[in-house]
């Protein structure tokens, strides 16, 4: 991969951290101090007592470590205070680091001293099973448990991989505004707010149109930020607030766009495999399917996909008067739903890109295929293992008149899009881009059952707390 490290910057950062902040021993780096006395700061994850022994499982945010308190090794008052510890009490523990096969993590602390910061009473999340509703209600505490901890570290790794990939490949970060004056694609799917004397403003559902303007200024850019959809979706793969990265490249055609999308996804998955083995193990994630995520991925045109659906007797499911009806054979021109996507993906062990969708089911800004005006130069990447759609992108319409025609066809206000049309008036060039849903990718890689588990504080149709 083309990623490079700027050594100078890393060096400066290290000096800064060492000279200005408190430097604590972390559980993550206990292997460096075997045989030495250390002080750990954290929270009691669990405690087991056996007569003259207490086993404290301590977590400090970086990992968990077993701390053994033996009555013969500590002052009687220290042993008594260890007895009073409860789940999630905050403490400072001092003792010798020992290599120990029986301890989780391989190292344990032979405790000499314990300082109690706070004794916790009635911590709601016990080390037993809990229901989904209870856990999400206690999201602020659920984040402390080992699986959620592992997922959040994988999320951080995914985001780092994305940034490293683009920054190392000549892309510039160009953030798009979150408050926008008009509903750019659809209509009723946006959150609305008041904006001083201008009346209504909306929370952005995509930074793409602004990314296009940015690409014409800086060449290759990406925007990375939260995005908002007011759709009343109630599924395990939708959030109303989610994070999306949207690269946009001047002079890229659809093929370049697909190549870049494949490179990015391969890089993210391989980066997580390389840096998050412990987290994947905690999650009991089978990494074999992830190891396979290497180029080339699969590709299919929409038309080829429809032929496949017909050959495999996958119907179109439609609702007529509230009743489900199967339509055979699948009619060309209809968009794919979950049924079709899952049927297609079941044959693949790697992501698959489906490209050249019918013009009528796609957004107005997508460029029509010069070889067939019934389809647009759009592409969606579907992940294996029921990951669903993780990327959606296209080559953009770069012709002024054709774009104007499409804006009018979609009943959009030409005035609102005047600035966007300007891009086709002053030095228009072929250009392409795509959007990657961060949570969809983290859900796939981590194997989480529900998308709400892969964002710290999920926002969903029936939940805005905590």
User: Residue 241, Cβ neighbours under 10 Å: how many?
Assistant: 17
Among residues 42, 95, 207, 435, the one that binds RNA under rule CB under 7 A: 435
Handedness of CA 301, 387, 235, 163 (dihedral sign): negative
* CA 421 to chain CA mean position, Å: 32
Q: Pick the closer one to RNA by CB: 145 or 275.
A: 145
Q: Cβ 189 to RNA, closest distance in Å? A: 6
What part of residues 301-330 is at the interface with RNA (CB under 7 A)?
A: 317, 319, 322
Q: CA-to-CA distance for 285 and 405, rounded, in angstroms?
A: 49
The 3 state secondary structure assigned to 287-332 is CHHHHCCCCCCEEEEHHHHHHHHHHCCCCEEEEECCEEEEECCCCC
Q: Pick the closer one to RNA by CB: 343 or 421.
A: 343
Among residues 51, 199, 296, 427, the one that binds RNA under rule CB under 7 A: 51
Rounded to 5 degrees, φ, ψ at 55 are -105, 110
Q: What mask, x for binding RNA by CB under 7 A, covers residues 439 to 458?
A: xx---------xx-------
Q: Pick the closer one to RNA by CB: 237 or 374.
A: 237
Among residues 129, 197, 371, 411, the one that binds RNA under rule CB under 7 A: 129
Q: Pick the closer one to RNA by CB: 170 or 177.
A: 177
User: Residue 65, Cβ neighbours under 10 Å: how many?
Assistant: 27
Under the criterion CB under 7 A, does residue 15 sit at the interface with RNA? no
Among residues 131, 296, 370, 427, the one that binds RNA under rule CB under 7 A: 131
Q: Cβ 266 to RNA, closest distance in Å? A: 16
What part of residues 334-353 is at the interface with RNA (CB under 7 A)?
A: 335, 337-339, 341
Q: Are strands 172-173 and 220-228 parallel, antiparallel or unpaired?
A: parallel
Judged by CB under 7 A, which stretch of 11-19, 155-163, 230-238, 399-407 contacts RNA? 230-238
**Nearest CA among 132, 136, 138 for reference residue 88:** 138
Among residues 38, 103, 290, 407, the one that binds RNA under rule CB under 7 A: 103
Among residues 22, 23, 50, 425, the one that binds RNA under rule CB under 7 A: 50
Q: Per the omega criterion (within 30 degrees of 0), is the bond before 466 cis? A: yes
Judged by CB under 7 A, which stretch of 139-147, 262-270, 411-419, 437-445 contacts RNA? 437-445
Under the criterion CB under 7 A, does residue 136 sit at the interface with RNA? yes
Q: CA-to-CA distance for 14 and 232, rounded, in angstroms?
A: 46
Under the criterion CB under 7 A, does residue 242 sit at the interface with RNA? yes
Say which DSSP state 360 is in. G
Among residues 87, 204, 223, 359, the one that binds RNA under rule CB under 7 A: 87
Under the criterion CB under 7 A, does residue 95 sit at the interface with RNA? no
Under the criterion CB under 7 A, does residue 392 sit at the interface with RNA? yes
The dihedral over CA atoms of 398, 401, 407, 409, expressed in degrees to the nearest 10, equals -130
Under the criterion CB under 7 A, does residue 229 sit at the interface with RNA? yes
**Nearest CA among 446, 437, 443, 464 for reference residue 162:** 437
Under the criterion CB under 7 A, does residue 360 sit at the interface with RNA? no
């Amino acid at each position: 991969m083309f990623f490079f490290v700027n050594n100078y910057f890393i060096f400066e950062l290290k000096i800064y951290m060492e000279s200005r902040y408190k430097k604590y021993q972390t559980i993550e780096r206990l292997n460096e101090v075997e045989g030495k006395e250390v002080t750990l700061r954290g929270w009691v994850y669990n405690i087991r007592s056996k007569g003259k022994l207490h086993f404290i499982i301590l977590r400090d945010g970086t990992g968990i470590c077993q701390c053994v308190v033996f009555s013969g090794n500590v002052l009687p008052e220290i042993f008594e205070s260890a007895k009073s510890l409860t789940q999630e009490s905050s403490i400072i523990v001092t003792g010798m680091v020992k290599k120990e096969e029986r301890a989780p993590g391989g190292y344990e602390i032979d405790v000499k001293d314990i300082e109690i910061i706070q004794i916790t009473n009635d911590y709601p999340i016990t080390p037993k099973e809990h229901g989904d509703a209870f856990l999400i209600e206690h999201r602020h505490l659920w984040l402390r448990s080992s699986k959620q901890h592992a997922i959040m570290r994988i999320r951080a790794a995914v985001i780092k991989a994305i940034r490293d990939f683009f920054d190392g490949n000549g892309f510039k970060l160009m953030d798009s505004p979150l408050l926008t004056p008009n509903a750019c694609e659809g209509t009723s799917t946006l959150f609305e707010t008041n904006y001083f004397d201008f009346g209504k403003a909306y929370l952005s559902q995509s930074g793409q149109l602004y990314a296009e303007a940015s690409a014409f200024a800086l060449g290759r850019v990406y925007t990375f930020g939260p995005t908002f959809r007011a759709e009343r979706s109630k599924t395990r793969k939708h959030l109303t607030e989610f994070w999306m990265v949207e690269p946009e490249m001047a002079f890229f055609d659809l093929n370049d766009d697909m190549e870049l999308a494949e490179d990015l996804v391969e890089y993210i998955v391989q980066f997580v495999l390389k840096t998050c083995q412990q987290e994947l193990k905690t999650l009991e994630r089978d990494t074999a399917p992830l190891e396979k995520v290497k180029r080339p991925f699969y590709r299919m045109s929409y038309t080829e996909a429809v032929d496949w659906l017909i050959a495999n007797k996958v119907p179109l499911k439609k609702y007529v008067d509230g009743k489900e009806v199967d339509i055979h054979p699948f009619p060309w021109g209809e968009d794919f739903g979950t049924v079709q996507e899952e049927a297609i993906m079941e044959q693949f062990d790697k992501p698959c890109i489906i490209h050249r969708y019918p013009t009528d089911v796609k957004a107005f800004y997508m460029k029509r295929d010069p070889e067939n005006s019934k389809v647009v130069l759009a592409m969606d990447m579907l992940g294996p293992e029921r990951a669903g759609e993780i990327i959606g992108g296209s080559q953009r319409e770069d012709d002024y008149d054709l774009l104007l025609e499409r804006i009018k066809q979609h009943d959009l206000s030409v005035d609102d899009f005047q600035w966007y049309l300007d891009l086709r008036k002053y030095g228009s060039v072929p250009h392409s881009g795509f959007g990657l849903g961060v949570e969809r990718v983290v859900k796939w890689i981590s194997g989480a059952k529900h998308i709400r588990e892969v964002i710290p504080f999920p926002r969903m149709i029936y939940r805005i707390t905590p």
